[in-house]
Amino acid sequence: MSKKRIVIVGSGPGGLAAGMILAKRGFSVTIVEKDDKIGGRTSEIKLGDYSFDTGPTFLHQKFTLDETFAEAGRNSSDYLDLVKLDPMTKLSWGDKTLETTYDQKRMAENIEASFPGHSEGYERFMKDHGEKLRRIYPVLQKPYHKLSAYCRSELLKVFPYIATNDTVVDVLDRYFPDDNLKLAFTFQSKYLGMSPWKCPALFTILSYTEYKYGIYHTTGGLCKIPEAMAKVFAEEGGELRLSTPVDQILFSGKSATGVKLTSGEEIKADHVIMNADYANAMHTVMNGFGKSKKKLEGKKYSCSTFMLYLGLDTLYEEEPHHHIMFADNYSKNIDEISGEKQVSDDMSMYIRNSSITDKTVAPEGHSQLYILVPTINCRHGHDWETTKAEYRNKILDRIEQRTSMKDLRSHIVEEKVYTPDTWRDSGIFMGATFNLAHTIDQMLYFRPHNKLKGFQNLFLVGGGTHPGSGLPTILESARISSNLICEEENVVSESVDLATSILAN
């Protein structure tokens, strides 16, 4: 019998993960990618001899990455050099700092040193959240394209956590009376591009996961993850075509029959998987079966980011790998971003100096800095073209004033700036870098389904579908959609579960 054919639109982490799993399970898989490189928002940016991650720099829940590789019959450590970071992140509020670690004893000591008398709240938080994560985790591994999914026993167990109007901050108020310390457990909402004052309460599991299981760097950058998946995909016989934009998905009634490329070529398929940004794809490549731009604008979206990628002719040894500097008035900064209109002058920022851990990303004695400033998405427009130079200077001023990098400007030899418009122009709807917002009304059944509603054989993977944005959830979306296709094709595969025993401890 000939193999069933699958076309995947996009080689982001979601597309590549689905590609390697399905190729391993015996499907004939072609991934078509519009760009001349793989990885999407997780691709590499090369500037001279410097290598940068475009987007992700924190890898959480390594066990989900391991499970994804195991689904393809591989061990992630054979393809990636994963480095567990300790300390993890330096947090600073003006002069006050906290160094975070997954070592709970040291974390409590660090909290005591910076916030005397407050480690009890941290210990209680860690104790309570083990059970919360154990209950929520299985919910994130199942599809929600049928309302009957709400009757599943694992979902019933988490209703107390999701059927509430409480936000992340409401939950944290019960543990952390100090507003600054509270922020150490809220900034993870920004991984979803959301305000912790609006982010649903269930997402306190993000900071718990980080502080319990740690975060990882990948030697060479997190862009090595898509590269590793592409390698497995090729080993399993998958076909990857770069610089191959899809113009339209082809349909016969409610069935997708393949894709038409901008070159005019048609690729026939039994199933189509969409990894391209959900909202962008829905109004550009759906051949009249998608949604109007206006309708899509009615949904809620994440924030965007202003990025500086700097190649330096020096290495700041005393600067940490990850550094988050909170705005002086963080809640105002978050309000401005959520309001989608005003660019904050008092901005929060994240600086990543991975060269202190990883000597492969810059020439010897040199380094590269990745600077991310969360900012408004493009909903209301902002003239970045005329303001980006000034904003870049404000960011550099703040770094020179508040870190040991007093002479930063004089060491810049390579530079690239991304504004929200850059993200938008690369095919991300509204430049909302972290996709559709993760509000209760846009999650589970209410998020675009893994099997797209109304179609027989069109599936979604990536941050725009269930469970959501962020590498572990994106990998999970690939596993969910791959399993749905296998169910329909009666392809039996053994499910991989490394998480249960890890979460039990």
471 near ligand FAD, rule: CB under 6 A: yes
- The one-letter amino acid at 457: N
The residue count of the chain comes to: 505
354 near ligand FAD, rule: CB under 6 A: no
Contact positions with ligand FAD (CB under 6 A) in 166-195: 191
Query: In the 8-state DSSP scheme, what is residue 173?
Result: H
In the complex, least distance from residue 313 CB atom to ligand FAD, rounded to whole angstroms: 25
Tokens standing for 360? 């492969």
- The one-letter amino acid at 355: S
How many residues touch ligand FAD under the rule CB under 6 A: the total is 36
40 near ligand FAD, rule: CB under 6 A: yes
Asked if the peptide bond before residue 87 counts as cis, ω within 30 degrees of 0, the response is yes
Q: Which of 6, 7, 12, 391 touches ligand FAD (CB under 6 A)?
A: 12
Nearer to ligand FAD, 42 or 119 (CB): 42
In the complex, least distance from residue 375 CB atom to ligand FAD, rounded to whole angstroms: 11
Q: Which of 21, 29, 32, 347 touches ligand FAD (CB under 6 A)?
A: 32
Report the Cα 58 to chain-centroid distance in Å.
9
Strand order in the sheet with 322-325: 96-99, 90-93, 322-325, 349-352, 367-375, 304-312, 412-418
Tokens standing for 2? 């000939």
Contact of 213 with 499, CB cutoff 8 Å: no
Q: Which of 4, 6, 7, 13 touches ligand FAD (CB under 6 A)?
A: 13
- Interface segment toward ligand FAD; rule CB under 6 A; list 40-48, 101-109, 155-163, 316-324: 40-48
Place of tokens 């100090």: 178
- Interface segment toward ligand FAD; rule CB under 6 A; list 52-60, 312-320, 321-329, 383-391: 52-60
Tokens standing for 85? 């970071």
468 near ligand FAD, rule: CB under 6 A: no
Tokens standing for 172? 């944290």
Contact positions with ligand FAD (CB under 6 A) in 274-313: 275-277, 285, 305
452 near ligand FAD, rule: CB under 6 A: no
3-class secondary structure, 241: strand
14 near ligand FAD, rule: CB under 6 A: yes
**Secondary element (H or E) of residue 5:** strand 5-9
Contact positions with ligand FAD (CB under 6 A) in 417-446: 427, 433-434
204 near ligand FAD, rule: CB under 6 A: no
210 near ligand FAD, rule: CB under 6 A: no
10 near ligand FAD, rule: CB under 6 A: yes
**Secondary element (H or E) of residue 7:** strand 5-9
In the complex, least distance from residue 281 CB atom to ligand FAD, rounded to whole angstroms: 6
- The one-letter amino acid at 68: T
Query: In the 8-state DSSP scheme, what is residue 86?
Result: S
Nearer to ligand FAD, 10 or 448 (CB): 10
371 near ligand FAD, rule: CB under 6 A: no
Contact positions with ligand FAD (CB under 6 A) in 217-256: 245-246
Strands (E), 303-359: 304-312, 322-325, 349-352
In the complex, least distance from residue 473 CB atom to ligand FAD, rounded to whole angstroms: 8
In the complex, least distance from residue 147 CB atom to ligand FAD, rounded to whole angstroms: 25
**HSE (CB half, 13 Å, CA atoms) of 128?**
15
Q: Which of 4, 6, 7, 11 touches ligand FAD (CB under 6 A)?
A: 11
Integer Cα distance of 13 and 3 in angstroms = 24
Tokens standing for 58? 């924190």
- The one-letter amino acid at 246: V
41 near ligand FAD, rule: CB under 6 A: yes
Integer Cα distance of 182 and 330 in angstroms = 12
**Interacting residue ranges for ligand FAD, rule: CB under 6 A:** 9-15, 32-35, 40-42, 55-58, 191, 245-246, 275-277, 285, 305, 372, 427, 433-434, 462-463, 469-471, 474
